[in-house]
Amino acid sequence: MYLAAVSGGADSTAMLVAVSSILRQKYPEQFSSGFLLRCLHVDHGMRPPEESGADAEYVRCLCETLNVPCTVVSISHGKIAAAARRMGIGPEAAARLYRMRALNREALRLETGGRRVYVLTAHTHNDLLETALMRVLRGAGPAGLAAMPESRGRMFRPLLHLGRRDALQYLREKNISWREDSTNQDTRFLRNRVRHCLIPALDEYFPRWRAALPALSETQSLAAGFIGDEASARIVWLFSGRNSCRTDAGNFFAQPVIIREEALFQCADMLLAGQAVPAAVRRKNVRRFCLSLPGGQERVAVDMGPVRAFVDGGQVIVRKTRPRISERGFSLLIKEAGLYTLKGVTIEAANGLDSGGETVSSFQARLPLVFRRALKSDCVAEDSGKIVKARAFSGGMRKRLISAVSAQGIAAFIGPEGLLARSAFGAAQNPRDYYTVTIKIKIGGTNVQ
């Protein structure tokens, strides 16, 4: 059985019409029974209801005309945007995760009596090129730059060698309409900026890029395959329960950096397998961990999003992180030096005092240190003797205010744009007991420190 993912746009409409025509001609009895081809439409809840509702109704009517059973999955408005913020990814990527979850769930539901269900998606050669450019711009590794495969597991892309123009021409010849997504013109989304701004410039000034980019992707596919095989052979992960894996630290750090990185991604994939909507593992933090020095006096620890990696007892340990953030409250406990993230804030704790002294983005405190939503009663006593009270901030600011709390009291206030206040209790008595905590906040694509 085939399950076609259909948005109502030209590409997926052309795919559904073509596949239904082929299967109807080749297997007329099975097709008419409804056990050969099904359709799934996902309303992501990201557009006005009247527009997305019209798309769903169009797909239903098209499927009725083609005699194809149709299922519509509706995601509540704002859910994908909230997931994108929580996972630190763009709304397009979050929508794709939810869409893939819906497709996999429907495929599993239909797999009865030993029947295998294959999912069809309408990616064209244009999508392949756009995706490759997006990954280049994001600094992807070999696996990310590898060519988009025609098939992987239950997923098939039957239009991958055809262009968007081919799909449009086919529909016009068949006199079949399609839906236009208004967000396809919105250049706030990276794919649309690539499609409407970057690609026209490349076509004008670098006309050979359409042949060169797939060649690059094929080379990266070979490189990714080799690196993956080497990482699997050189670094073996052992499960410690369901939520963590470990491997020998000496062997891990003896490998080339690219092998270490791939091994961490493989480990994260194992830990997150089966997760409904897996969060993105942050490559820059993976690299930071792989470049760290395990032979120091303190443990190395890096938060990589849905998993955390650290060195302890001669072992590299990767552990799934627990959700820390909700709409009403959150907390983050720091017990050791390392790199952490919380609500768009990157927090780095380093043992001892920074040789350059405190900066506008750093403060000093003892560990353990808890970051939580500020309470009205919280206050910070600064070096100048000034008492900064949380209740003094406006209501909107106070709702977004974070308190860093140590055993000595409130160590600092952090706001949407950086460090707002830090306490006077310093490290004069015993500097070794203190950690320099640096705050980095990304605002409009710029890191504020």
User: CB within 8 A of 210, min separation 6: which ones?
Assistant: 129, 203
CA angle 252–218–204, rounded 5-degree value: 125
At 358 the three-state DSSP class reads coil
Q: So where are the chain's domains? A: 2-122+158-185, 235-320, 331-448
> Could you give the angle at which helices 79-87 and 91-110 cross, rounded to 10 degrees?
110
Report the topology of domain 235-320: 3.30.465
Specify whether the CB–CB gap between 393 and 401 falls below 8 A: yes
Distance CA 449, CA 446 (A): 10
Q: Do domains 2-122+158-185 and 235-320 have the same CATH topology?
A: no
Q: What pLDDT, on the 0 to 100 scale, is given for residue 358?
A: 43
CB 360 within 8 A of CB 419: yes
Q: May I ask the CATH class of domain 2-122+158-185?
A: alpha beta
Residue-wise pLDDT tens for the chain (449 aa)? 999 999 999 999 999 999 999 999 999 988 988 889 999 999 999 999 999 999 999 999 999 999 999 999 999 998 998 888 777 678 888 899 899 999 999 999 999 777 899 999 999 999 999 999 999 998 888 999 999 999 999 999 999 999 999 999 999 999 999 999 988 999 988 899 999 999 999 999 999 999 999 999 999 999 999 999 999 999 999 998 888 999 999 999 999 999 999 999 999 989 987 665 556 677 888 988 998 765 544 456 888 878 889 998 899 999 988 654 443 456 788 888 888 877 667 888 887 655 444 445 788 888 888 888 888 888 888 877 788 998 888 877 888 889 998 888 888 998 877 888 888 765 445 555 677 788 775 444 334 34
The pLDDT of residue 292? 77
Residue 182 is given by DSSP the state G
Question: Do the beta carbons of residue 386 and residue 371 sit within 8 Å?
Answer: no
Q: Give the whole-angstrom CA distance, residue 31 versus residue 94.
A: 34
Cβ atoms of 187 and 197 within 8 Å: the answer is yes
* Contact predicate 404/361, CB 8 Å: no
Taking alpha carbons only, the member of 339, 275, 330 closest to residue 305 is: 339
DSSP SS3 for 345: strand
Residues 422, 388 contacting (CB under 8 angstroms): no
Q: Copy the structure tokens of residue 54.
A: 């019209």
Kindly report each contact of residues 306-314 with a partner whose C-beta sits within 8 Å and lies 24 or more positions away, as own/partner: 306/87, 306/268, 306/272, 306/275, 306/278, 306/279, 306/280, 306/281, 307/267, 307/268, 307/271, 307/272, 307/281, 309/264, 310/336, 310/338, 311/249, 314/248, 314/249, 314/250
Q: What is the dihedral of CA 47, 51, 53, 54, to 10 degrees?
A: -150
* Four-residue CA torsion sign, 222, 226, 231, 232: positive
d(CA 162, CA 86): 36
Radius of gyration for the chain, computed over Cα atoms and rounded to the nearest angstrom: 26
Phi, psi of 64 (to 5 degrees): -65, -40
Query: Quick one: pLDDT at residue 277?
Result: 52
